[in-house]
Structure 1
Amino acid sequence: MKAEKTSRTAQYMAFFRALETQRKDRLFSDPYAIHFTDSKLRLATRLYPYSIFTKYINNTINKKIPGALSSGIARTKYIDSLLENAVEKGVKQVIILGAGFDTRAVRLDFLKSIPVIEIDHPNTSNFKAEIYKKRIGLVPENLTFLQIDFNEQNLDELAVKHHLDFSKPTAIIWEGVTNYLTEEAVKSTFSFISKFAQNSHVIFTYVHKDILQNPASFLGGKKLLEDLEKIEEHWTFGFLPEELPNYLNQFNIEVLEDLGADAYREKFLPNRSEKGYEFYRTAVGVRK
């Protein structure tokens, strides 16, 4: 959650979703994603349907960040499916923490009648609202932006100020954030999540703790962390997958599923053979 500017990695994720939208065999459609990319990435997106450019762009991405493209696409679909399952099980509102350029509130039909609350830094939140107003004419009625500067405010204070309803079964999405936080910040956020009603779901991503201690043990890990250092988006936190159930149990949250990039890539993109990003994981838990 960078306070000064919108995240570069968030822009790359939007770019990946924009590329996927151009494919004939696309896993999902996100016509809004392209508007969150810079001019060079928008040009690449528009050229992507032409086979010569498809191959070049895919090869360039995979050379720089092996596995990131297919992992990001499969992860997007995986979280979409986990969210839809949570709604089918009775979730009445959705909260997206550190929302970045997440477009689920506008692109997923099953959310059209469900309140979606996005919580992010004012810079990102205001930029996103302007993009929606400029490109689609409005901010959807079911979408609320709540702004927070994590250097000056915490989620509990935000909840009191905006009268968040903890009594509703809620789906909390926390994607692409935990690896940038301190251990204390992660613990504080799970404590906040645990206050929501029984049957609330939390869908979140994390990185395998080993990549922080031994980046070279994962394909592309060492270069990725070096590149993140250059753009000042340092990774600071991870979990060991085998320790996650006990960790979440202290917040009365039960792990329902915890998959690594290889697993959710095989689940949703079995025909796209790409290696890398095995250190990135997605988990879903339910409030007991």
Structure 2
Amino acid sequence: MARNPAAQTAFGPMVLAAVEQNEPAGRRLVDDDLAELFLPAPLRWLVAATRLTPVRRLMVRASEWTGPGLWANLACRKRFIADKLTESLADVNAVVVLGAGLDTRGYLLTRQVRIPVFEVDLPVNIARKAKTVRRVMGQPPLSVRLVALDFERDDLLTALAEHGYHTDYRAFFICEGVTQYLSEAGVRRTLEGLRAAAPGSRLVFTYVKRDFIDGTNRYGTRTLYRNVRQRNQLWQFGLQPDEVAGFIADYGWRLVEQAGPDELVQRYVEPTGRKLGASELEWSAYAEKV
């Protein structure tokens, strides 16, 4: 399988989720008892080391060298998505995870409800996910379908339909940590594919701010900027918060809520007593299909 730089980014968020599992319950930002199991062996060994509090603290501090506040951003965006999904479960009859990577959400969800979950990602990531699920679970749940797709070239609705998706599903679409890796054309192509979603469908997504992409504000993340913009243009797309409502309205979505770093820290970090700040670089948004 051809290597794809974006495909290699699937590990980071799951390492964070697994490390957070080693925090005491009252200090934990993410609850995910499958995260460590879904990681390859070397990363499982790394996570195991963080059961020791000093090692865990060192890892969180080290993440700040790459991008101040990014640990809290990643953890809080997962909590924001989980909250919105929980609030919506009674009103939707399918879940679609765009850019699923090694995300465990679909498998955790089978403990609560039996609705179809479609995990969409690049072919290399889908192949890796299938192998991982077989290793961890033996047999994948019948309710979870893996959909291989290139967001820049393939038709989303066609790919989903080939795996049993129906356009009359009132679906909950999750697009976490994905939009920055696509071109603007790829983001628009994805939203065009979601235009046919049934009214009442929900969409939660994250985005990085456009002024980081164009280099006018690096948000104190010189190492991150060098890695994702200067060396290989890994991140391509961004939005400003005041542009989001109009951008998605063109495709039939109504913005319901946006959550920036201050709100996410207040909502999720402060109750734990942990002293973590979040970066202005990344925001989360929640919308409904009209």
Q: Could you state the TM-score of these two structures normalised by the residue count of structure 1?
A: 0.90
Work out which of the residue numbers 52, 62, 73 in structure 1 matches 2:64. 62
* Matches of 1:64 and 1:99, distance apart in 2: 23
Read off the aligned partner of 1:279 and give its amino acid letter: L
* Matches of 1:48 and 1:266, distance apart in 2: 26
1:142 match? 143
Which aligned pairs between 1:191-270 and structure 2 lie closer than 5 A?
Answer: 191-214=192-215, 216-220=217-221, 222-229=222-229, 232=232, 234-270=234-270
1:86 match? 88
Q: Would you say the 8 A contact 1:261–1:278 is kept in 2?
A: yes
Work out which of the residue numbers 75, 78, 90 in structure 2 matches 1:76. 78
Q: Would you say the 8 A contact 1:97–1:120 is kept in 2?
A: yes
Q: Would you say the 8 A contact 2:155–2:193 is kept in 1?
A: no
Q: Would you say the 8 A contact 1:68–1:277 is kept in 2?
A: yes
* Matches of 1:231 and 1:106, distance apart in 2: 35
Q: Which digits, 9 at most, give the CA deviation of each residue in 1:107-156, with x for residues without a partner?
A: 23565311101111221111111111112222112100111244653214
1:213, CA displacement in angstroms?
Answer: 2.1
* Matches of 1:132 and 1:95, distance apart in 2: 17
Q: Would you say the 8 A contact 1:16–1:73 is kept in 2?
A: yes
1:3, CA displacement in angstroms?
Answer: 6.3
Read off the aligned partner of 1:8 and give its amino acid letter: Q
Bigger mean CA deviation after superposition, 54-63 or 210-219: 210-219
1:231, CA displacement in angstroms?
Answer: 7.3
Read off the aligned partner of 2:122 and give its amino acid letter: H
Specify whether residues 165 and 34 from structure 1 end up closer, same or farther in structure 2 by C-alpha distance, changes over 3 A only.
Answer: same
Q: Would you say the 8 A contact 1:203–1:283 is kept in 2?
A: yes
Structure 1 gaps, min length 5: none
Specify whether residues 63 and 51 from structure 1 end up closer, same or farther in structure 2 by C-alpha distance, changes over 3 A only.
Answer: same
Q: Would you say the 8 A contact 1:3–1:149 is kept in 2?
A: no
Q: Which digits, 9 at most, give the CA deviation of each residue in 1:157-185, with x for residues without a partner?
A: 32454453111211011111111112122
2:279 match? 277
Q: Which digits, 9 at most, give the CA deviation of each residue in 1:234-287, with x for residues without a partner?
A: 111111111111222222211010112332122111132223421101101001
3-state DSSP of counterpart to 1:218? coil
* Matches of 2:86 and 2:30, distance apart in 1: 14
Q: Which digits, 9 at most, give the CA deviation of each residue in 1:202-235, with x for residues without a partner?
A: 1111111111123545132x32121225774611
* Matches of 2:189 and 2:167, distance apart in 1: 16
* Matches of 1:277 and 1:107, distance apart in 2: 28
The percentage of aligned residue pairs carrying the same residue is 24
Which aligned pairs between 1:61-210 and structure 2 lie closer than 5 A?
Answer: 61-88=63-90, 90-108=91-109, 111-150=112-151, 153-162=154-163, 164-210=165-211
3-state DSSP of counterpart to 1:285? strand
* Matches of 1:74 and 1:109, distance apart in 2: 22
* Matches of 1:7 and 1:68, distance apart in 2: 19
Q: Could you state the TM-score of these two structures normalised by the residue count of structure 2?
A: 0.89
* Matches of 2:3 and 2:116, distance apart in 1: 26
* Matches of 1:242 and 1:259, distance apart in 2: 12
Read off the aligned partner of 1:184 and give its amino acid letter: A
Backbone CA RMSD of aligned residues? 2.3
Structure 2 gaps, min length 5: none
1:48, CA displacement in angstroms?
Answer: 1.3
Specify whether residues 162 and 3 from structure 1 end up closer, same or farther in structure 2 by C-alpha distance, changes over 3 A only.
Answer: farther
Specify whether residues 43 and 238 from structure 1 end up closer, same or farther in structure 2 by C-alpha distance, changes over 3 A only.
Answer: same
Read off the aligned partner of 2:9 and give its amino acid letter: T
3-state DSSP of counterpart to 1:33? coil
The aligned length equals 285
Q: Would you say the 8 A contact 1:253–1:287 is kept in 2?
A: yes
2:16 match? 16
3-state DSSP of counterpart to 1:257? strand
Bigger mean CA deviation after superposition, 20-29 or 105-114: 105-114
